[in-house]
Structure formats: C-alpha cells, structure tokens
Structure 1
Amino acid sequence: MKSHHALLTAGLLGLTGVALGAFGAHALRQQLTELGTRDRWETAVHYHLIHSVAIFAAALWLRLVPGQAARRLGWAVRCWVTGVFLFSGSLYLLALKAPTWLGASTAPLGGIAFLCGWACVAAASLAKDNRAA
C-alpha cells in the first residue's frame, strides 16, 4: 500500500468519524437516548476514530520503511479499514435498531480485523528491513 493511499484513507475515515460523532451527539441524540443505544453509538465512534488515527500513523511510518515492514503496515491498514466497516458499522446500525443478527455476525469479525491489524504492526516492527532503518 502506498503511503498517500493510507493518508487519504485516514483522512476520509477521520472525516466520517467526526461527522458521525457530531450526528449522534446532536441530530440523533434524542432518538439514541430513547432507544437506549447512545453508548453503542459512542463506542462505534470511539473505535472508528482511534483506528483513523492509527491509519494516519501507519501512513507516516510507511514513508520511512521499505519492503517487508511496509507490506506488513499495508496489511495493518487494510485490517483496520475492514474493522471500522464491520465493527463500527455494525454498532452504528445496531444503535439505530437494525436486526440484532447483523451485529452478532459482523461486529466480532470487525474486532478480529482490528486485532489482526495491531498484530501486523507488531510484525512490521520486527521486520529486518525496519530494524536497519
């Protein structure tokens, strides 16, 4: 993955994370409170934004490392994007009272994608071409 693609992705995910956070805090506040799902929405925004920042950091790191370390970072970014869509996306929909089977099937997969992304970061730090830099 090229660093400029990761930066673009971080920017777009950060933009949508802030927008969805504001939307939940203002336009949907009453609805989410009545449904009792504000915590679920806030958790979705939290993980969405944390991983947007993580993708931004990985994009910067991608500019500094070659080869194997860069490939592993690229996989971290892909995993985190998948995690945002599956985990946070499921929670956003569940907060709006989507069918519960949706979250039961996709949110855990998104969580696993987040974990795999962090494992890829750890693996990138151990790559021989990263340690020489």
Structure 2
Amino acid sequence: MKFFLIAGAVNAMLSVAFGAFGAHLLEGRIADKYLDTWQTAVQYQMFHSIGLIAIAILMSSSLIGNLGSLSWAGYLMLAGIIIFSGSLYVLSLTGISVLGAITPIGGVAFIAAWILVVVAAAKAL
C-alpha cells in the first residue's frame, strides 16, 4: 500500500514536471507530432498515477479484502507508466520510430491493471 502511494505521488510529480518541460522547453524544438506524443505520455502518466494512489487507498480500506488482485494491478499500472509513457518520451526526444512498437505493451499493462481493479471490487461486493 505504502509503495503504491509513494509511486503514485512521485509519478504525479514527474508528470507535472514533464508537462512543464514539454510546454516550455520542447515547444518549437521538436516537431508538433512529437510534442503531441509527449503530451499523450504526460496525460497517461498522470491518469495512472492517480490510479496508483486509488489502489493504495483501496488496499488500506476494509472495503476490499482481495489484496492480491490490487497488488498485481498496482505493479501492472506502474509497469504501464514506465513502458507506455517512457517509450513515448524517448520517441519524442529521439524520433526512433521502433519505440512505437513497445508502447502498446504498456497499454496492455494498463488495461490488465484496470481489469484487476474490477476483479478485486467484484470479489468484495
């Protein structure tokens, strides 16, 4: 629980920092399509940072007793941030298009994480 709360908060902070970096330092220095890609990475990082914080809160509550599903969801969400957003950040800065093939792996991790949150909630009700 503590790990996911810290990971969520750190990633939310990084998302804000990367968003500011993109808006103030990258604009005009990289192609617009890569700036859009950067913004997508920032948005997904923030959405899933909030997801990590929600998982930490759910794990600490007595509402959901199935901590295994939530724990897996948290790890998958963190992996998704690293793979999805990370690959898009590197793609935006380098233009290495092969990185676009890695990004969907992070997307699948996000989807699986949210499915596990649903599973944990369904088992609790």
Q: Taking structure 2 as the reference length, what is the TM-score of the superposition?
A: 0.92
> C-alpha offsets along residues 23-48 of structure 1, whole Å, 9 cap, x if unaligned?
0011111213x353111011000100
Please give the residue correspondences for 1:53-92 in structure 2 after superposition, counting only pairs within 5 Å.
Answer: 53-65=50-62, 69-92=66-89
Residue in 2 that maps onto 1:43: 40
Shift of 1:80: 0.7
Where does structure 1 differ by over 6 angstroms across 4 or more consecutive aligned residues? none
AA partner of residue 108 (structure 1)? P
Gaps of 5+ in 1: none
Aligned length: 125
Which residue of the other structure, out of 63, 88, 99, is the alignment partner of 2:96? Answer: 99
Secondary structure of the 2:25 match is: coil
Distance 1:88 1:55 in 2: 15
Give, in whole Å, the separation in 1 of the partners of 2:100 and 2:62. 37
> Structure 2 counterpart of 1:99, which letter?
I
Q: How many angstroms apart in 2 are the aligned matches of 1:119 and 1:43?
A: 22
Tell me how far 1:70 sits from its aligned partner. Answer: 1.4
Deviation at 1:103, TM superposition (A): 2.1
Computed over aligned residues only, the root mean square deviation of the Cα atoms, in angstroms, reads: 1.6
Unaligned runs of 5+ in 2: none
- Name the counterpart of 1:120: 116
In structure 2, distance between residues paired with 1:118 and 1:66? 17
Residue in 1 that maps onto 2:106: 110
Once residues 101 and 55 of structure 1 are traced to their aligned partners in structure 2, the CA distance between those partners, rounded to angstroms, is 28
Q: Does the residue aligned with 1:27 lie in a helix, a strand or coil?
A: helix
Q: Write the deviation string for residues 77-117 of structure 1: whole angstroms up to 9, x where unpaired.
A: 1111111111111111111134211221x101000000000
| Alignment-mate amino acid for residue 75 of structure 2 | R
What is the distance in 2 between the residues matched to 1:90 and 1:29? 19
TM-score by length of 1: 0.87
